[in-house]
Homo-oligomer: A and B are copies of this chain.
Amino acid sequence: MDQTTGNGEWGRTGIWIAGALGDISTTLIVGTLAIRKAMVSRTGMVSELPPLCDLDLVPLDQLFFGGIDICPGHLPEAAAAVGSSSRTFSREMLEAIRPGLEAIDADIECDRDFEWNSRGSAYSARTLNEVVDQLRANISRFKRRHDLKRIIVLDLASAEPTPRAAPAHAELRLLREALANDDRQVISPSIARALAAFMEGCPYVNFTPNLGAGIGALEKLAAENSLAYCGNDAKTGETLLKTVLAPMFAMRNLHVMSWEGVNMLGNNDGRALSDTERREAKIRNKEDVLPKLLKYPVHAGVDINFVPSLGDWKTAWDFIHFKGFLDVPMTMQFTWQGCDSILAAPLALDLVRMAEFAARHGETGPMTQTASFFKNPIAVEEMAFFPQFENLIRYAEIHLARGGSGRNISARKVSAIGDR
């Protein structure tokens, strides 16, 4: 059974997901199917805000889903597990969309060999070359099976140990050699996925803290193949708030002395991050934000604690100690209690739609317009959320002004952005 009809000028579009049975992926797919059945609203999707929603982004009901996972399982069961452990979606909903889930499940391949540890001894039986070939074969099979015009590769895999810096990360020739030499110290799983995506001519969206396409060698490959890509490390909670609040302190000339953040989470992401090596990239992304925003050194700690009972419900507590007039110390603290995959899934959908749009319009290279989605946006210096978001709006407005790309352009404006 076909997943959808896939008609329209954007053509039949596929999302090929690494980590397809994970919480975010499952929530993304369940949400898309539930929205198609009008069981839930589109709340949480940035691409549904004006003026973005006036672009002719690919509609949700025209998307095909496929992908891989390193854990065995099936999508309907994964969805039932996520829904009941995080109390986010009901059995009624799952029953209504069960046929859709089963159809998509047929496009998901599970294989432990898709992962290895670039800094440790964990090893997949296949060579890197075989793995990349398998990934490419999987993507191209998905494309043929549904006669897709375009596939976006969406990387939602777990945090991986960051490979040690190597010249091969900077130079495409050396990277290809490392691939030929099966050098797993250099090529981490996310690099292999980005490589496979680019070789197959697919834009690549890196939602994870992993390197993915964020190395010079792959930027080169993307340029050669005229492909768009974006990343790294979606910001959905604490870091989002840092990039919103730190500019306020700066603009009021309030001097931040300390900013301590504690993150608690209990899902697979949390389990992976309880491993010091895997945590490294994420912590660095989280810690880099403040000095870049404030332009002075701040005593800032970030703890990530694995608290299994929380499941997918991430709780962050931040404590901000700052100095004001007459050097008087004052404090702010906040608690953010959100469901990780509920916060993340709509942003992943947004990014896929933006990537498809960019590809269709012949845009290549880093999608800097998506900086507001990431902790560590590729090729963007600006870390503050609001100017990042303004860039996204401006991007949409330029497209709309060109005329061709908009639908029926309304006069609506995104709330809170004002009259620009």
Residues of A within 8 A of B (CB): 27, 30-31, 34, 40-46, 48-49, 84, 87-92, 240-241, 244-248, 250-255, 257-258, 260, 262, 264, 293-296, 299, 301, 303, 305, 307-310, 315, 317, 319, 321, 323-339, 342-343, 345-346, 372, 381-387, 389, 414-420
Contact = CB atoms under 8 A, between A and B. Distances in A.
Given A41-B327, A252-B46, A293 B415 contact: yes
Q: Choose among A240, A264, A293, A345 the residue with the greatest number of B CB atoms under 10 Å from its CB.
A: A264
A317 B262 contact: yes
Nearest to A28: B325
A27 B325 contact: yes
A329 B317 contact: no
B345 A294 contact: no
A319 B313 CA distance: 13
Contacts of A295: 415-416
Nearest to A391: B418
A309 B294 contact: no
Contacts of A241: 248
A310 B305 contact: no
Given A44-B254, A44-B326, A247-B417, 16 more contacts: A40-B325, A41-B327, A42-B253, A43-B327, A44-B252, A244-B244, A260-B262, A260-B264, A310-B321, A317-B317, A324-B339, A324-B343, A325-B343, A325-B345, A331-B337, A386-B386
A416 B325 contact: no
A101 to B, nearest CB: 15
Nearest to A246: B416
Q: Choose among A44, A260, A372, A387 the residue with the greatest number of B CB atoms under 10 Å from its CB.
A: A44
A324 B309 contact: no
Contact of A253 (B40, B49, B250, B305): B49
User: How many subunits of this chain does the assembly comprise?
Assistant: 4
A326 B293 contact: no
> What 3 A-B pairs have minimum CB-CB distances, sorted nearest first?
A44-B325, A257-B309, A247-B416
Nearest to A386: B386
A335 B333 contact: yes
Q: Choose among A84, A345, A372, A418 the residue with the greatest number of B CB atoms under 10 Å from its CB.
A: A418
Contacts of A330: 337-339, 342-343
Contact of A240 (B248, B315, B335, B385): B248
A51 to B, nearest CB: 13
A384 B418 contact: yes
A260 B317 CA distance: 11
Given A46-B251, A326-B342, A419 B264 contact: no
Given A43-B253, A244-B248, A321 B299 contact: no
Contacts of A309: 257-258, 299, 321, 329
A258 B418 contact: no
A384 B393 CA distance: 16
A321 B307 contact: yes
Given A253-B43, A323-B43, A419 B381 contact: yes
A334 B337 contact: no
Contacts of A250: 49, 414-417
A343 B336 CA distance: 23
Nearest to A413: B295
